[in-house]
Structure 1
């Protein structure tokens, strides 16, 4: 019977409110208030009323969880606050070391008393580490507007349609007082019972079963058809927040309790612990009860509870310093080693891979495992045919842990490294380790890695090199996935990264899976990558041991590809965070004829951006005393080197002084052993030539002690030190740092009297307090955005 519209409005509102309350009691409080049959009756009544009055259907209605039309693809979501991963602890001592670092980092914040005494106790929030898929839920004005996967931490996939089908995710927040914009982070998982029931249904219908609840949850949440997701027994558990525009409690535990009050489920095992020993007690207790929990977990997460202390501790490159995941011991099983095959990586490393008789380890079928290198094979005493112990390290990576010698068969065969590359047939050579002693002398020993010498003539190396070259953090060529790169190499269309820029429409459209539009899109993406920054280009080259940060240092410091190519390793070590081994890797890479040819080819197609002079910070930055000390003359350290610089005034003067025994013998402040060492060092013509070559390059680069000191012209913040603190909402702190550096500023991690300005976002703590104490200028995010806009760095 149809009821009047006004009565329908009132009844629909009442039903929604009642169903939301039942969902909250069932999913969040674990206190169901009505039988399932009564819930179903109310739900069906609401569904019928909404069918009669479709104009009254709203996105947050409990009936809108069933899923809509299938999607063509997932869109991208840029996380405004990065979703970082956690560091891991595998042993109790690892957790104690984490606690020690936390207390050391909070030395000024902790109660009075000895740093390692009873007074210095940190309160931690403890909860199980669910084995599922990390997701982000964005609420605006209390309504769920977006769901996203973690992705790479910076960019995830838009799974909004799918998260709406997860029954314990509220479509509208309960109560009041929630922030205007609130990003809730948590884990979508599948209970053991739900997983078993789903697999039983899959078997009955002839469908594919899943190996474990984690894979099932991840696969279900990434279905393009939300109706499939809706049919899966998924659950959500909140563990924190990301972007927040509004007020929240000042402790992590308090935030989770607020989320619970607003209808978001949190862990029922949540607990606070004072100090590391209580954390360990919690870890042991959960470990003993692990098998009885209704869901899979792979460890415990500990987080500093005090948010101000979290901000004080800050972050490493990829993880917070205030949180850690204490993993449970890996599961182990026995299986048979069927064979050892060899894979070739981007740098030519030939790596042994164990092919195993398939075995279930912690719910996952394992059929292969890495053996790292031939030294590891020798250490294990491994032979083909052996029975081996397999472990999933951190419940993720399969490893061969040991050989069961009692079960070795009579026909077991030794493992031999191939003499020729299994991909291209080139020679396989063992690497050599070069150790450099004082004065640059070298000693050579055998390394653990074997390499194919085929370089880019080897299809395996070429594929991996190009996959790296086009990756997001390198030239970022969208649409060039692994399979397309493999096609391009296998068909002979490219033999080096430079060949990407000569691809034609006719060549690409003929590839499998390509049509007119996809071909034009790929060629446009390649064309759009022709103007990379110097830092991206350096990283894209794939120089061994040169990651993103080192590439930025090289680009920012030396200013041009030509200088980086020419730089001697001794000069490179004057740059921040560039050690001797990395410096020699850089030098060796650019001295290689093949690499030089590829770079020359690339320069024909690429216009590098942000090239210029050596950064003003490094102009005339090397003193004569530091130069002498860096020569590593035995028995001459920093103090002695400075005395020699003061006495001689130049490198030529030092060389002359070293051979003027009369003058040197009466020189004060340097002992006889150091004087004899100086004399012996410069008596060697090779050492003289090396020192003069280093000085010559320092002069050419403008880094020499007699070079002209400079300031960066045209950069408004040149010579200034800025500090970022608190949460920035319009951009990440990494992006803000990059933009400030573009304006010439140096961005530091601590405040001092020399700090020019502190940018303080919401939640700023001790750094803001210190800035106010020292009278340092403070700017909010609005001021920063205005400054960046003034110089064209933001819209």
Structure 2
């Protein structure tokens, strides 16, 4: 989203054009310096908009395109305050030009025909330049302005992915000089832990993995650098002596042989159609990669063709970056309101001017709790940065302080529930969250619980959504969840959502009644536990309890110690479970559901054969016949543990397309790796079936 006042100048006088050019150039240099040498204050999308406006201005008025224009520059000069020594790269590091839609991509492909292209993920990290002499790491540096960077050799030596000595092979002897370009990043799966440790140490959490990696690489204490779990992937070579690959792909094969990390997501393709297919694929699987990415880089593979195409002052002509819709943008925070969740938690949320982010228009974003509002420092009226990653609810990251004009005001957290007027308070003095204690009849809590129990993780009642849940409550059809499975056509006649204008139950109402009957008959016990909205009892604990005790009555008859002994449960969940049943109206819900035919126990006959009992299985990458959820369900229902991380305790690693670092780690540990066919064998017959299949 462009900054306010960045519309293009048309028809203005020469002085006006130059003034506009100077404004844009100053903004670009300012934000580029923050991006490379400090903390960015605007999202990449805003920067891209300013940069493209300057490019357009120079295209329309070539006299403005002076040699020192930001459109001709790479990166940003090393900050004068940097505590690292300046070093010159053996060969200049360039940037990449960007395209933002398929039309622009087609224009580039038409201008740049090739027999073969490489498609690579555009890693959202920090560029690094490594120099090896006779196979030994001599120096590591940041990009800087493309010629001069900062010497960060000591920090690079504590990054596990960067070898100190290259491994020579028969096919690829180590060259006398090798300059390697790559990207340093923090894996998505490590980011939460890095932030948690930073908060525990009294620091402010990083906004995203890219900022975390940039800040980490410039620390003076190498012990602190090591704690940040930095990783690196190579994506090019610079100066070289004693190595003459024919293609970029051949160069990557050699880098891998020498022990340098290359991306598992790179593909060589032979047509424009295949380029588009890879761009479409990663648009849909953007969050499957181990690292954050914001686009796909397309390169001409043949190195002779690359040399013939050459470069501009800032970017090669033989490569282009296709950037996806931004996941971070800025917009105006119009108001901060609060909502009430199914457990009574009162959560502030941002009401914003609608803005396009990650391919969809959003106008609301979470602020978590009142403590977070204060920590983030946002005021009503601020221009704020919001982030939306995939299906994740948009989140306000913080304000753009430099855009404040003095009209902004502080958010005051309410003392009364906005849904029922009950006084709010934390459950415990140390809790950050405030809750509404009117859990039975607060309309906000009840509608949220109904919507939750209708979801796929519980009863999977397709015809009961948020709108229907609110209607059932406000029309007086339901006073709590107890009567849900006793609904009839007569009771639905008072509904405005499930009836026609003549007052008869409509098709959606008939579907709701059918869905309720089906859910009652076939639901698994663990899903019933989830549907009860017992605090702390999520799907993992519910599965564990149901698998061990087989019936709700057996669980209720157990004490805290017995329940806590269940793997994945523990004392907090066990006590919360038993405390829930101390409430009269909670027990009434269970009794009413049981009377309506909802299953309260699992039959042994209904269970799949426990072929994975005692086994830990990790599934990584995309499988053809299993979604991520269905694969997890298949493992757990057969007695296995579906883990999200690879360790020495892992029994099997199932590898699909674009598996990434988990496959690499599994091979390093010597674990048993299965393809999808092997996974199906494992599900059907366990270890013996896999052994027989080999």
Q: TM-score, normalised by structure 2?
A: 0.47
